[in-house]
A and B are shown apart, each in its own frame.
Chain A
Amino acid sequence: NAGVTQTPKFRVLKTGQSMTLLCAQDMNHEYMYWYRQDPGMGLRLIHYSVGEGTTAKGEVPDGYNVSRLKKQNFLLGLESAAPSQTSVYFCASSVDRGRSQETQYFGPGTRLLVL
């Protein structure tokens, strides 16, 4: 059981370049999330998904797009990277968002530097 995995672990982009971050989970979880974590700030939700084929905006969605074509995968895309998107990106999954006791399981993170 790998849990939640993320690729790549680290990436350097130039302003204007695009990239896709991949998140995969093998726990058969319905819910998946993309967060960014910046120094001195809490985790901020970018987008989330309540099931295969569905996505929704979180707190800071601008500049990002997502897709959930398969239940186990959740992709985060940056169409035109900006220095403000330099951050650590975490993917997480959970069984059910409605059951408030349910914890989220996090991937190891992707460190993105945009020059």
Chain B
Amino acid sequence: GQNIDQPTEMTATEGAIVQINCTYQTSGFNGLFWYQQHAGEAPTFLSYNVLDGLEEKGRFSSFLSRSKGYSYLLLKELQMKDSASYLCAVLDSNYQLIWGAGTKLIIKP
């Protein structure tokens, strides 16, 4: 079966750096997405990786290793507004998005 694993919850301090990991086993691979979802709101797109390596976008970076079935989202200079759930999703061979359960990130002052 298809499976996406991410930690359920993480805690970090304002101003610090946090890395959220995602491992996947899917039928084929056509890219990996990270979405941010604040409590009670809709998911919003953060990043997309299809080739190995690091994609940087401001305070957020996303890394992919296809051979290891592994990705991480790196958040720098954490702000209180970064408190949210972070969803990892993989586009499989049928171009269907397979979603992880999400990682709830709690930022403490």
Interface residue ranges of A73-108 to B (CB < 8 Å): 90, 97-98, 100-101, 103-108
A residues within 8 A CB of B8?
Answer: 40
Query: Within 8 Å CB of B48, what residues of A?
Result: 101, 103
Contact check, A42 vs B41: say whether CB atoms are below 8 A apart.
no
Chain B residues within 8 Å of A58, by CB: 96
Residues of B near A101 (CB, < 8 A) are 31, 48, 50
Q: Tell me if B70 is interfacial: C-beta within 8 Å of chain A.
A: no
What interface size band does chain B fall in? 20 to 34
B24 to chain A, nearest CB (A): 11
A42: contacting residue among B44, B45, B101, CB under 8 A:
B101
Q: How large is the interface on A (under 10, 10 to 19, 20 to 34, 35 or more residues)?
A: 20 to 34
Judge whether A100 and B31 touch: CB under 8 Å.
Answer: yes
Given A43-B89, A104-B97, A107-B42, 19 more contacts at CB 8 Å? A40-B8, A42-B4, A42-B98, A42-B99, A42-B101, A42-B102, A43-B99, A90-B42, A90-B43, A98-B95, A100-B30, A100-B91, A103-B45, A103-B48, A106-B42, A106-B43, A108-B41, A108-B42, A109-B41
Partner-B contacts on A (CB < 8 A)? 4, 40-45, 58, 90, 97-98, 100-101, 103-109
B residues touching A (Cβ–Cβ < 8 Å)? 4, 8, 30-31, 33, 40-45, 48, 50, 87, 89, 91, 95-102
